[in-house]
Amino acid sequence: MSSYDEFIDEKRLIDELMQDNYWIKNIKGTLEGDLVEFEKIDGSASHRTIRLTNPDSRKYITTLVMKGKLQKHKKLFI
């Protein structure tokens, strides 16, 4: 599998979880990839953990986290 295909597969998984009302609870960087823990927003205590090995996927998840923080920060000043 090419690096691009790997990225698309991991991105698709992230996007599906986000659309299914999961939020990023924790990210832990390891030598084998980032472990990303998701938790369901609805309070059902449903968890999912995925491992991102592609560098572009790791950048993508970090971008989502930063985007969320910026939106939360922006709401404080509006």
Question: Which one is predicted more confidently, 43 or 78?
Answer: 43
| Residue 75 confidence (pLDDT) | 56
pLDDT digits (tens, 9 = 90+) for 24-41: 999 999 999 999 999 998
Instruction: Label residue 68 by pLDDT band (50, 70, 90).
Output: confident
| Full-model pTM | 0.84
pLDDT of residue 72: 65
pLDDT, average across residues 33-61: 93
SS3 of 62, please? helix
For the chain, helix, strand, coil in percent to 5 are 50, 30, 20
Q: For the chain, what is the largest distance between any 2 Cα atoms, rounded to a whole number of angstroms?
A: 46
